[in-house]
Amino acid sequence: IDLFAGIGGFHLALHNLGAECVFASEWDEHARETYKHNFKDKSPNLFRDDNFAGDITLVDKNKIPSFEILTAGFPCQPFSPIGQQKGFDDTRGTLFFDIAEIIMLKQPKAFFLENVSGIFSHNDGKTFSRIKSVLTEELKYSFKEYKVKASNYGLPQFRPRLFMIGFKNPKLFIDEPVKQDLLFNMSHVMRGDAER
């Protein structure tokens, strides 16, 4: 399932690996329109079966279809230097607990979460510690975090992010991907000759 789906980065990546998205949630009207345009042909059942929800806080989480992998790029503004950094005191910051509730109810095999790298040090590390504690101590999943920059994986963008990955089987984990040189830079993009 694809929570806080944006325009579907997680959906596209997992679809390309052979996974089927059975439920998605995105509240922003313009992102929803783009998401539907991007995936109505790739995942028609998602839209036909009315499993493309808006605000996750209004969803009856018991009615979410069974799934094996939960992905979520939950709102980063409460943890970002660009935002006011109110963390869990910001309503958007509490949306992580909706993710935790869905994991508790549905017991997927794995989760893959994404946020700004600043969440790692937000509130002197207490925010990240709380997230990790919920996922490992309360929900009993394995947990590994990865600080990554898109530029280390072939893309011409700095964009540091924190990925958090865990498995129901606490012995499982994923090694950090092997870094690679830039495939192209913004000059290539502007000239229209970037590798596709």
* Residues near 26 by beta carbon (within 8 Å), at least 6 away in sequence: 4, 5, 6, 32, 35, 52, 54
More confident: 120 or 100: 100
Mean pLDDT of 182-188: 68
Distance between CA atoms of 131 and 89, rounded to whole angstroms?
14
Active site residue 21: no
What is the reported pLDDT for 123? 75
**N-term to C-term CA, the chain:** 27
The model's pLDDT over 6-46, given as tens digits with 9 standing for 90+, comes to 999 999 999 999 999 999 999 999 999 999 999 999 999 99
C-alpha–C-alpha distance, residues 85 and 150, integer Å = 23
| Prediction pTM value | 0.81
What is the structure's pLDDT at 2? 96
* Contact partners, residue 41, CB within 8 Å, separation at least 6: none
Helices (H), the chain: 9-16, 29-39, 44-48, 96-106, 126-133, 186-191
Supply the Cα-derived Rg of the chain in whole angstroms.
17
d(CA 114, CA 156): 19
CB 90 within 8 A of CB 79: no
Instruction: Name every residue whose Cβ is closer than 8 Å to that of residue 50 and which is 6 or more positions away in sequence.
Output: none
pLDDT digits (tens, 9 = 90+) for 51-92: 999 999 999 999 999 999 999 987 655 444 544 545 445 444
Is 120 a residue whose pLDDT tops 90?
Answer: no
- pLDDT of 119 higher than 60: yes
Q: Which of 7, 76, 135, 165 is catalytic?
A: 76
% of the chain exceeding 90 in pLDDT: 52
Residues in the chain: 196
Residue 182 to residues 178, 179, 187, Cα–Cα distance (Å): 13, 10, 12
What's the mean pLDDT in 93-117? 90
pLDDT value at position 66? 95
